[in-house]
């Protein structure tokens, strides 16, 4: 791209805010009643996090893999690509995240949701709850119709934020490979919302930023204490 | 006193009613002057000075209601005397939405279809152009332009060959936001072409220095994109009052003020504001009627907005 420094976020925005938010309305209409399943899945994950076990962690990872795959295909590839041609590549990245959760969390059982510190646990659960309960009402609070609500499990922003929250709860070293796609998506989505002057951008940046900052803090703390924490803990020890 | 209508009376009153229903439209069209046009230098064909862009506004995907709204914008555009619609494969679903509108409007004969080729590598150009043509649902394009001068060395010969074969009527090159002007100048100087498309508005006036005079000298038609700086100029000036002397060149609103400034430049053939609203497209086309500002008034217009 020549003269790249002359480009602004606005130059990459191919659609109007009206078209973007109406896309969620049409998407919600198309996938109904998948939203009910997504809400139930969200609360099931919350329930499993109360008393984490190896088996429960596998189920949480399977749920996350399913959500990322759903959003990749149903949202990015099937819907978003209609107004944003590059969405097909974003969809591919979401498939990759789903595969990573499936391999690391379901097949290998390397991900156990037992946070190393109370701060990580509290922050992780709080951000997860916000992704679950706050995201659907952001639009209506900002004056957009309920029909355009974005839900964890079926819409990309709350799914990415909830995933970052859950990654904070993982025992042992930070699984940075799982952070890449959600963080990149949050950056892309915040840039899109920012170019449309939608205040949602700041909420996304704040939630993703807090999760990433806490993950870095936890990682540094672990490194300083020199503790060697195994990535896999038997279910009996986790209990 | 009552009387029964004879067949002759009935036919006479029917004819009178028909004439009466036509007269207001006819009278109104006579009262309004003809739409302002500019000739395409390479052919002499006239084009209305205001066209219709499709960047962002027509990229509505599969949304049926939004597609219908775009079709209504196109209907109003043609009703007001517009001809040139411009799009690109870069504009998401805009080409398909234009095709949807054209089918819904039964392919208005006055359409001047302007599209672009935007792909790396000249060999891939013809396939993209054919795909675009299918999206538009037109037998051929009137104008094909190399979008953002991307790989123009490879695409321009293809477009010229298509023109020779009668598969397109005009060829050109585009840029926007003031980028690659040196390259556009080089192309203008060295390549035979019919159109060049650049950004020009009352604030972004760099093209006045070299591109516009050169296009005039080379007898190349000029299409102007971003006439409102993507709406920013209307947001910026819209709350200020129009100067009273704007009425001297039949200007009733800020969009018309901004458009009349552009199309009154002697090198400009057509400006292409984009909109998704029927009232806005009618307002924009209003700038293509009545008087245009002269050179002194143009300077006054620029000075006026500078103070705002």
Domain assignments of chain B as residue spans, ordered by start: 41-307
Nearest chain B residue to A22 by CA distance is B63
**Cα–Cα distance for residue pair B210/B201, rounded to 1 Å:** 15
CA distance B244 to chain A (A): 34
pLDDT at B5 over 50: no
Half-sphere exposure of A9 (CA within 13 A, CB side): 11
Judge whether B277 is closer than 8 Å to chain A, CB to CB. no
Half-sphere exposure of B77 (CA within 13 A, CB side): 33
Residue A15 is nearest to which of B56, B62, B230, comparing CB atoms? B56
Q: How high is the pLDDT of residue A3?
A: 64
Residues B241-252: pLDDT tens digits? Answer: 999 999 999 999
* Chain-chain contact of B276 with A16 (C-beta, under 8 angstroms): yes
Closest CA to B288 of B253, B263, B254, B258: B263
Identify the residue whose tokens are 């990322």.
Answer: A68
Judge whether B231 is closer than 8 Å to chain A, CB to CB. no
Q: Phi and psi for B143 in degrees, rounded to 5? A: -135, 130
**If DSSP codes are grouped into helix, strand and coil, which group holds residue A151?**
coil
Residue A84 is nearest to which of B60, B63, B92, comparing CB atoms? B92
Q: Phi and psi for A100 in degrees, rounded to 5? A: -60, -45
Tokens describing residue B58: 């027509």
Q: How high is the pLDDT of residue A234?
A: 43
* Chain-chain contact of B59 with A6 (C-beta, under 8 angstroms): no
For residues A13-45, b (16+ Cβ closer than 10 Å) or e, as one string? Answer: bbbbeebbbbbbbbbbeebeebbeebbebbeeb
**Strand pairing of B221-225 and B270-271?**
parallel
| Per-residue confidence in pLDDT tens, chain A, 239 aa | 556 677 777 788 999 999 999 999 999 999 999 999 999 999 999 999 988 899 999 999 999 999 999 999 999 999 999 999 999 999 999 999 999 999 999 999 999 998 778 888 999 999 999 999 999 999 999 999 999 999 999 999 999 999 999 999 998 888 999 999 999 999 999 999 999 999 999 999 999 999 999 999 988 888 887 654 444 444 444 43
Q: How high is the pLDDT of residue B32?
A: 65
Domain assignments of chain A as residue spans, ordered by start: 17-223
Residues B280-294: pLDDT tens digits? Answer: 999 999 999 999 999
| Strand (E) or helix (H) holding A163 | helix A156-168
Residues B103-151: pLDDT tens digits? Answer: 999 999 999 999 999 999 999 999 999 999 999 999 999 999 999 999 9
What does pLDDT average to over chain B? Answer: 91
* Residues in chain B within 8 Å Cβ distance of A79: 61
* Chain-chain contact of B59 with A10 (C-beta, under 8 angstroms): no
Half-sphere exposure of B63 (CA within 13 A, CB side): 29
Q: How far apart are the first and last CA of chain B?
A: 69
Residue B93 is nearest to which of A2, A13, A82, comparing CB atoms? A82
In sequence order, what are the residues at sequence separation of 6 or more whose Cβ sits closer than 8 angstroms to the Cβ of residue A6? B177, B178, B179
* Residues in chain B within 8 Å Cβ distance of A23: 61, 63
Q: How high is the pLDDT of residue B301?
A: 98
* Chain-chain contact of B179 with A19 (C-beta, under 8 angstroms): no
Q: How high is the pLDDT of residue A133?
A: 94
Total residue count of chain B as it appears in this document: 308
Q: How far apart are the first and last CA of chain A?
A: 54
Q: How high is the pLDDT of residue B25?
A: 45
pLDDT at B10 over 60: no
* Chain-chain contact of B178 with A82 (C-beta, under 8 angstroms): no
Residue B179 is nearest to which of A6, A14, A16, comparing CB atoms? A6
Q: How high is the pLDDT of residue B109?
A: 97
Q: How high is the pLDDT of residue B27?
A: 47
Nearest chain B residue to A86 by CA distance is B92
This prediction has a pTM of 0.87
Share of chain B above pLDDT 90, in %: 87
Judge whether A16 is closer than 8 Å to chain B, CB to CB. yes
* Cis status, amide bond into A33, omega within 30 of 0: yes
Give me the CATH code for the B41-307 domain, please: 3.20.20.100
Nearest chain B residue to A19 by CA distance is B60
Share of chain B above pLDDT 70, in %: 90
DSSP per-residue letters across B222-244: EEEE-TTTTTHHHHHHTTSPPPG
């Amino acid at each position: 791209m020549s003269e790249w420094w002359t480009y602004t976020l606005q130059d990459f925005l191919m659609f109007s805010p009206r078209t973007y938010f109406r896309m969620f309305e049409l998407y919600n209409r198309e996938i109904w009643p998948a939203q009910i399943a997504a809400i139930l899945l969200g609360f099931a994950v919350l329930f499993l996090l109360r008393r984490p076990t190896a088996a429960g962690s596998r189920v949480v990872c399977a749920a996350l893999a399913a959500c990322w795959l759903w959003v990749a295909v149903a949202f990015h590839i099937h819907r978003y690509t209609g107004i944003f041609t590059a969405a097909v590549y974003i969809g591919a990245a979401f498939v990759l995240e789903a595969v990573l959760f499936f391999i690391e969390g379901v097949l290998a059982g390397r991900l156990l949701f037992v946070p190393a510190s109370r701060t990580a646990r509290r922050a992780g659960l709080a951000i997860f709850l916000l992704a679950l309960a706050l995201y659907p009402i952001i639009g209506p609070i900002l004056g957009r119709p309920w029909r355009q609500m974005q839900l964890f499990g079926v819409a990309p922003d709350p799914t990415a934020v909830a995933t970052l929250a859950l990654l904070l709860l993982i025992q042992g070293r930070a699984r940075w490979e799982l952070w890449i796609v959600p963080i990149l998506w949050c950056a892309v989505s915040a840039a899109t919302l920012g170019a449309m002057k939608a205040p949602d951008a700041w909420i996304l940046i704040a939630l993703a930023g807090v999760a990433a900052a806490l993950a870095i803090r936890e990682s540094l703390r672990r490194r300083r204490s020199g503790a060697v924490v195994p990535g896999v803990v038997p279910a009996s020890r986790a209990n | 006193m009552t009387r029964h209508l004879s067949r002759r009376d009935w036919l006479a009153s029917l004819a009178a009613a028909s004439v009466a229903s036509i007269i207001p439209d006819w009278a109104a069209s006579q009262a309004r002057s003809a739409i302002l046009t500019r000739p395409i230098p390479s052919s002499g064909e006239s084009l209305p000075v205001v066209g219709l862009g499709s960047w962002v506004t027509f990229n509505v995907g599969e949304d049926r209601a939004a597609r219908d709204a775009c079709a209504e914008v196109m209907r109003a555009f043609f009703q007001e005397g517009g001809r040139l619609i411009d799009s690109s494969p870069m504009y998401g679903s805009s080409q398909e939405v234009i095709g949807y509108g054209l089918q819904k409007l039964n392919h208005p004969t006055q359409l001047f279809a302007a599209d672009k080729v935007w792909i790396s590598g000249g060999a891939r150009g013809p396939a993209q152009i054919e795909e675009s043509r299918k999206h538009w649902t037109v037998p051929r394009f009137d104008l094909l332009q190399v979008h953002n001068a991307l790989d123009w060395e490879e695409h321009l010969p293809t477009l010229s060959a298509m023109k020779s074969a009668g598969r397109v009527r005009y060829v050109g090159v585009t840029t926007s936001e003031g980028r690659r002007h040196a390259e556009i100048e080089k192309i203008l100087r060295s390549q035979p072409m019919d159109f060049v498309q650049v950004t020009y508005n009352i604030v972004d006036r760099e093209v006045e220095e070299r591109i516009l005079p050169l296009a005039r000298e080379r007898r190349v038609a000029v299409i102007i994109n971003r006439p409102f700086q993507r709406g920013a100029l209307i947001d910026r000036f819209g709350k200020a009052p129009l100067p009273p002397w704007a009425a001297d060149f039949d200007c009733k609103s800020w969009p018309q003020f901004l458009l009349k400034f552009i199309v009154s430049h002697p090198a400009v053939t057509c400006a292409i504001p984009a909109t998704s609203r029927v009232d806005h497209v009618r307002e924009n086309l209003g700038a293509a009627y009545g008087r245009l500002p002269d050179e002194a008034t143009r300077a006054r217009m620029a000075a006026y907005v500078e103070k705002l």
